[in-house]
Amino acid sequence: MSRVCELTGKGPMSGNNVSHAQNKTKRRFLPNLNDVTLISDALGRSFKLRVSAAALRTVDHRGGLDAFLAKAKDAELSAKALKIKKDIAKAQAAA
């Protein structure tokens, strides 16, 4: 399982551990990923996604999964999230 957020595309970053003597060794900063179940109002279903804590706050702020995906860029979304976005768009167009 890759360490990438399915909604924002946020992944590991690299940097240095720096000791008191200024010795630098490479390290990785991993995103804070959580397995969550998000509910789509338009589809009336729930989806299991692996999402960063920051993305989860943004989903709440924007008013739910449907509103978040409507504003999200396709390049940042995973294949699973892109399919959900297209299904939501179809359901909203039909209604």
Supply 54's token pair.
């920051």
Structure tokens at 34: 């959580």
Distance, in Å, from the CA atom of 14 to the CA atom of 20, rounded to the nearest integer, reads 20
Total domains, the chain? 1
Residue 5 domain flag: no
pLDDT in tens, 13-67: 999 999 999 999 999 999 999 999 999 999 999 999 999 999 999 999 999 999 9
Q: Report the CATH number at residue 44.
A: 2.30.170.40
- Tens of pLDDT, residue by residue over 71-94, are 999 999 999 999 999 999 999 999
Residue-number span of the structural domain to which 28 is assigned:
13-94
Neighbours of 79 (CB within 10 A): 8
Residue 60 lies in a domain: yes
